Structure 1
Amino acid sequence: MILLNWRNITNKLIDAAIDYKYLLTKGYPQKSTLDFVSTRYTLSKQERLLLFRCIHSNQYVSEVGSKLMCTKINNFVLLLDFYNILISTINALRGGEVYLCDDCVARDLRGSKLREDDYSYLLNALKVVASIVKALEPLNVLAIVDKNVSHSSEHSMAFVREFESLGLRCAFELTSTPDSKLIRYSKEFANTIVATSDSVVMMYSLRIVPMTTYIMFFLNVKPAFDFTQLFNSDCSKCFDQFKHAIH
């Protein structure tokens, strides 16, 4: 048993994470593996969700790691997974827990929809994202927005106003299938790079900006747990490049 002292992270959960990653790396199916580990360690729903979102096979971590771009992206159009990034930023601004996952990407455990009490944070969240994007200096920004979310058009226009106020060239596209649209554009257009923390989108896109990790650094958020340390993930080069890029 590995003994670690982190907020709300039990030794039982650490052991479960190690077993889960080992079995995924051996090629066992994700759902049945998660069911097995959750039952064996009597994990709560939140603990199970944490493993699902933050722990991956070594093969996945290696492949995604090869796609991460942590420098300025001057010659690329940034495809922004709009609500994925926006909600992650709101969670960080509200003081919600953030976890640094084994693939060098920061994630949280909240749902994928905006709540009523999130709206007071929305403009500030857009300012944070816009500030980071400006430092990365993309050629252009295209926000891919889930049109099924209430007030998505209004949120999209707020995005345009905030980004244009910083001199950023930007546009948005409303769609009912944002994940598939991000993946398709990533493959069809050679000069695109995707900003998301969605594991499936990351797996099938060609290039990734770990935007939620940048947000964590920008807001000086200390992760509730750092799985990159537990599994010795090779993230330091990426993190150093980003910190150099924004200064």
Structure 2
Amino acid sequence: MSFPEALQDYRYLKNRGYPDKAALKLVGDRWRLTAMARNCLFRAVFAEADCRARRAKLVTPQAAGGRPLGVDWYNVLITVESYLKGYPVFLADDGLMRDSSGVHGSYRPGRITEAALGKILESLEQLSPSRLELFLDAPISFSGAMAEELRRRAPAAIPCEVSVSPSADYPLKSFPGLVATSDSSIIDRAAIREVLDLALFVLERGYGARVAPVGQLLIPPAPPAVPG
């Protein structure tokens, strides 16, 4: 497997409008990529026009001070937990940090959730927004209990509302303020003008992480094919 060459091939196809699934299968099969490597490609490589538009919306953590901040809670939490579990995290072509775990709808709180949750809340307090709105996806297991925990532990000095809805995407796509997410379907909405990479801030501030671009990832090779 040659992950750097697979990246080049996938970028080439993405910039020429190939559908995601077809391009991923073509490149993944050619280079015999593992499931994790394919997930890294899918979550890291985008058409250059999309990358430029998203980079233009990214703001520094300092921009959150004194402003409303809407947080895609599970998007941030899962990324931080993935790092703590040892999954590769990386800077994607659009400048946002993502993880390789492929977890979302199947997410369940575990033994490291407490540590990740605590670091995120500490980071939010340091950012000092004028108010916080944390949006949770109802279909994810134990979202009700998670919401109650967040209401109990939210920074006392910052007004905070915690909402559980069928999909956190919908309220975030029309949020009138800064949005913390790496979800491209939210970021690409015209109504979203500014985006904060909160998960990256948490890892850099809380754990001293140095997150590299996706091209520098060391992806384990696929096992050799067994003759039929």
Please indicate, yes or no, whether the TM-score normalized by the shorter chain is above 0.5. Answer: yes
Q: Specify the alignment match of 2:127 in structure 1.
A: 136
CA distance in 2, matches of 1:39, 1:119: 34
The amino acid across from 1:163 in the alignment is: A
Alpha-carbon distance, 1:228 to partner? 7.1
Divergent runs of 4+, >4 A = none
Instruction: Show the counterpart of 1:213.
Output: 200
- The Cα of 1:123 is off from its aligned counterpart by 2.6
Q: Is the 8 A contact 1:100 1:213 kept in 2?
A: no
Q: How does 1:21-36 map to 2 (within 5 A)?
A: 21-36=11-26
Aligned letter for 1:146?
D
Contact 1:142 1:171 in 2 (8 A): yes
Q: Using the alignment, how far apart are the partners of 1:95 and 1:114 within structure 2?
A: 16
User: Which residue is 1:88 aligned to?
Assistant: 79
Local SS of the residue matching 2:188: helix
| Residue aligned with 2:36, SS | helix
Give the partner amino acid of 2:148. M
Shift of the alpha carbon at 1:229? 7.1
Residue in structure 2 matched with residue 105 of structure 1 by the alignment:
96
The structure with the greater share of residues assigned to helix is 1
Q: State how far apart, in whole Å, the 2-side matches of 1:96 and 1:209 are.
A: 22
For residue 164 of structure 1, give the secondary structure of its aligned residue in structure 2.
Answer: coil
For structure 2, the residue ranges without an aligned partner over 5 or more in a row are 218-228
Segments of structure 1 that go 5 or more residues without pairing to the other structure are: 1-9, 231-247
| Cα distance in 1 between the residues matched to 2:197 and 2:50 | 15
AA aligned opposite 1:85: V
- The 3 A distance-change label for structure 1 pair 145 and 129 is same
- Distance in 2, matches of 1:154 and 1:141, equals 19
Distance 1:33 1:95, change over 3 A: closer
Match of 2:220 in 1: none
| Separation in structure 1 between the aligned mates of residue 198 and residue 34 of structure 2, nearest angstrom | 29
Percent identity, aligned pairs only, is: 25
- Please tell me the root mean square deviation across aligned C-alpha atoms, in Å: 2.1
What is the number of equivalent residue pairs in this alignment?
211
